[in-house]
């Protein structure tokens, strides 16, 4: 361009100014919409996985709204991969201040969660001792248990009667029952689309465990390998419900009559009872080897505070306010939507809904056969055994080889955690 007239300069100046504005505007927009109020320090963000029961999201938001010292925003994380969304968010600046998860030692070793001993110590005696134990590492308490969720089998009494099958008490009987209960309309058993939810119960019911007390591998036994082969038999023969539109944590499969026996959790009990009335019973995962005993997974969710949050103290205060002080809300959360066993002894004792009928049986299984979280059993190890299920039960591979492969991963992890 050779022309340099005044009119041209004006146009360019305007253009430059506009470009400059656009550039700064663009930069300013970065980091603007984080969902927090700017700089007041009175806002907290919490992550929850999406509970399936109606009204749960509203309930969590209602409790948060009742807190007057901070504005608490809830991120309700839908989808099946809450762990990876949570783990990746924790590394960023937009990490939640509080989140629900299970006690796992790597989060403590890497300094991701804050020590909650000071708020837990005064009320420690009112919590289920097993829950306190699973949240205590190096003498400190790292999380506040909100709910305990036993997982077991639901079965349709009428279907078992019609097929002439007694509720199975051993894994062999379960395999047999699955075969007898399978018709062209109904499958025998639902162990989840990926079969992974019964991995731990299988280990426990052979009398083995995931890890020893000294944090060494304890799952790699001949009995576990044999149990995997039995699961494979059910899978291969087409007696398992697979690729169901709703996975195991949702009671749809059993309520819609797709299956006679389903692995699910206590949380689904109100919905199942409403749909099936008296035509439902519950049993633990049956004994899988001589010397073993039936097993129930005592899962559940706990509240943690992000140690890198800008408002650790405020977040702790909120967790204390809601999950330690507000018994009314804790009771509502445990009993008004799905059924969960309150970890607070005082609440569990006054929970009349859990005193009779099927819920009382659930509590009995929880107390008698339940296995609580082992914080040393981390997500990487969980995934290693999920791969064992995939390789053996679904793909038909040799259990020994698959367990050997898992050993390598678990040992690598154990070495990193405990040296």
Partner 1 sequence: MSTTTTRGVAKGRATTETPQVRKRRGVRGRTLNFWLFTGPFLIGLAVFVYIPIGWSAYLSFFEARYTVTPSTFVGFDNFTYMLTNEKFTDSLVTFTVFAAFIVPVTWAFSLGLALMVHRLRFMRAFFRSVFFLPTAVSFVAASLIWKMSIFSGVRFGLANTVLSWFGIENVAWLANPNPPWYWLVIITVRLWLQAGFYMILFLAALQNIPPELYEAAAIDGAKPGWQTFWYITLPQLRATSTAVILLLLVAAYQAFDEFFNLLAKTTWGRPPLVELYYTALGENQDYGAGSAGAMILTVLICCVTMLQGKFMGFGRGEESK
Least CB distance from residue 118 to partner 1, whole Å?
25
Secondary structure letter of residue 150 according to DSSP: E
Stretch that binds partner 1, among 22-30, 36-44, 61-69, 127-135 (CB under 8 A): 22-30
Site string for partner 1, 224-243 (x = CB under 8 A): -----------x--x--xxx
Q: Report 112-171 residues binding partner 1 (CB under 8 A).
A: 112
Number of residues in contact with partner 1, rule: CB under 8 A?
A: 47
In whole angstroms, give the CA distance from residue 356 to residue 354.
6
Contacts of 188 (CB under 8 A, 6+ apart): 177, 178, 179, 180, 181, 182, 234, 239, 240, 259, 260, 261
Among residues 46, 74, 128, 196, the one that binds partner 1 under rule CB under 8 A: 196
Least CB distance from residue 353 to partner 1, whole Å?
32
Which secondary-structure segment (H or E) carries 399? Answer: helix 399-418
Contacts of 67 (CB under 8 A, 6+ apart): 318, 321, 322
Stretch that binds partner 1, among 37-45, 189-197, 276-284, 318-326 (CB under 8 A): 189-197
Among residues 116, 159, 171, 244, the one that binds partner 1 under rule CB under 8 A: 244
Contacts of 251 (CB under 8 A, 6+ apart): 154, 262, 264, 268, 271, 272, 275
Least CB distance from residue 334 to partner 1, whole Å?
28
Please check whether residue 231 is in contact with residue 393, taking contact to mean a CB–CB distance below 8 angstroms.
Answer: yes
Nearer to partner 1, 282 or 385 (CB): 385
In whole angstroms, give the CA distance from residue 364 to residue 357.
11
Instruction: Examine residue 416 and tell whether it contacts partner 1 (CB under 8 A).
Output: yes
Please check whether residue 174 is in contact with residue 287, taking contact to mean a CB–CB distance below 8 angstroms.
Answer: no
Please check whether residue 278 is in contact with residue 224, taking contact to mean a CB–CB distance below 8 angstroms.
Answer: no
Nearer to partner 1, 112 or 311 (CB): 112
Binding region for partner 1 (CB under 8 A): 2-5, 7-8, 16, 19, 22-23, 26, 80, 83-84, 87-88, 91, 106, 110, 112, 184-185, 193-194, 196, 235, 238, 241-245, 258, 378-380, 382-383, 386-387, 389-391, 394-396, 416
């Amino acid at each position: 361009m050779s022309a340099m007239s005044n009119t041209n300069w004006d146009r360019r100046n305007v253009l430059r100014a506009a470009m400059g504005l656009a550039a700064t505007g663009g930069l300013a927009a970065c980091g603007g919409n984080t969902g927090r109020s700017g700089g007041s320090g009175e806002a907290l963000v919490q992550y929850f996985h999406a509970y399936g029961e109606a009204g749960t999201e509203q309930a969590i938001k209602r409790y948060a709204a009742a807190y007057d010292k901070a504005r608490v925003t809830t991120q309700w994380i839908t989808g099946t991969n809450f762990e990876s969304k949570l783990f990746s968010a924790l590394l960023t600046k937009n990490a939640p201040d509080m989140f629900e998860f299970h006690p796992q030692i790597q989060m403590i070793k890497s300094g991701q969660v804050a020590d909650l001993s000071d708020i837990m110590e005064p009320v420690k005696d009112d919590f289920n001792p097993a829950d306190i134990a699973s949240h205590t590492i190096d003498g400190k308490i790292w999380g506040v248990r909100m709910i305990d969720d036993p997982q077991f089998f639901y079965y349709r009494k009428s279907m078992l009667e019609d097929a002439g099958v007694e509720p199975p008490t051993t894994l062999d009987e379960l395999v047999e029952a699955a075969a007898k209960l399978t018709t062209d309309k109904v499958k025998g058993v639902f162990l989840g689309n990926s079969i992974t939810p019964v991995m731990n119960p299988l280990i426990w019911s052979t009398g083995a465990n995931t890890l020893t007390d000294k944090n060494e591998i304890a799952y790699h036994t001949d009995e576990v390998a044999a149990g995997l082969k039995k699961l494979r038999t059910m899978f291969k023969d087409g007696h398992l419900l697979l690729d169901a539109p709703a996975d195991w944590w949702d009671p749809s499969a059993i309520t819609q009559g797709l299956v006679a026996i389903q692995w699910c959790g206590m949380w689904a009990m109100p919905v199942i009872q409403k749909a099936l009335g008296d035509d439902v019973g519950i049993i633990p995962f049956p004994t899988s080897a001589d010397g073993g005993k039936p097993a129930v997974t005592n899962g559940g969710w706990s509240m943690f505070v992000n140690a890198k949050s800008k408002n650790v103290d405020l977040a702790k205060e909120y967790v204390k306010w809601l999950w330690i002080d507000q018994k009314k809300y804790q009771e509502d959360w445990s009993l008004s939507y799905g059924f969960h066993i309150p970890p607070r002894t005082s609440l569990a004792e006054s929970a009349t809904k859990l005193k009779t009928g099927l819920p009382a049986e659930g509590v009995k299984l929880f107390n008698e056969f339940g296995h609580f979280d082992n914080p040393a059993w981390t997500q990487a190890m969980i995934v290693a055994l999920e791969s064992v299920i995939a390789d053996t039960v679904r793909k038909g591979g040799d259990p020994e080889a698959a367990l050997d492969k898992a050993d390598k991963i678990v040992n690598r992890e154990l070495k990193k955690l405990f040296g």
